[in-house]
Structure 1
């Protein structure tokens, strides 16, 4: 069956000489894997740019039930990025986001609310005035709600975790920052001290690991921590 859908590219791997297998989180069909032939070619005909992390696409796809790999009939840019592919900091955050999502959802998982949030996140990440130093924190806080394990209030991110890395002096300050980030979201310009910002990032990732039962380290974490200076 041929279906139309919008999609967000998460990752791709090489397949044979010129092809790739790409994972795309689609709004209507959920997380899907597609075999795309002939894209790893040199010259103007190459379409590899369409399959970079967090690329927003309009798709026409062949959707066969129980198929491990489907194929794409047509792929067009939904919105071209102006900064994400060209600025190291934004590219790194994009990779971090795709790693978090890839660990959080499974094949065929569909969640239109999560898709819309991710699409909104991509748009903000590409905007010049978005404060990148707190972007990963906002993403983790907001994303937890769409995955179904966000606490009722900011303090819950601390109280509902097995790990308690904050000192008694840091606790009220940290919860206050969490409230600001929850309220202002990606528009936030709050200035959080570097040491506390890093500790909060590590804590939120521990919080995710507890709920997703996936304790392994994030490959992109080292770079993200450096970007939060």
Structure 2
């Protein structure tokens, strides 16, 4: 008996399967708008309103994708399988190893900026901390959307519009989408361009690998949330011991 058909990268073929340039522009514009909503609706105090920005960060790109792709928007989220989960979990140590090695070089050189989230997490109490951590779940899903959707847009551009073979198109889109993800963290890391491109973007390369293997955002989301929540747990454990 034949197994299930392998998943394909969605939206990269010719229309009607793919998206037109105008529809891609709408989807990518919604990613920018969602990110702006996240930045403008500050989460610093961890109150109930802290969830508004992260939720909009997810909802805005998904609404645009629904408008652009119709029922095809669900292709981004195929039914999760054990392979999806395992691929996501196995990417976590790789992300830690790669970003940790590069970050060590930056730390030794004395040019690394510290993510302020760790200090904020320690300062929050009770339900504020719970709400803050809960808010990272939609935020991290939003971060997957603003990485994977540009990746697919670039893949469609290179493969469909420029006629590049699929494999080099995937590599180019993978690297460029990771670089964009890194650049979005400039304000978080004190506008340290080298750090966001050589630490954050390298970590993002590892976090995107599960998606490349499974074609499922669930897989890369599992990798991302496992990585970040593990770091949160270590920060809180260290604070409790201190």
| TM-score in terms of structure 2 length | 0.29
Higher relative contact order (CA 8 A, sep 6+): 2
Higher helix content, 1 or 2: 2
Which of the two has greater strand per residue?
A: 1
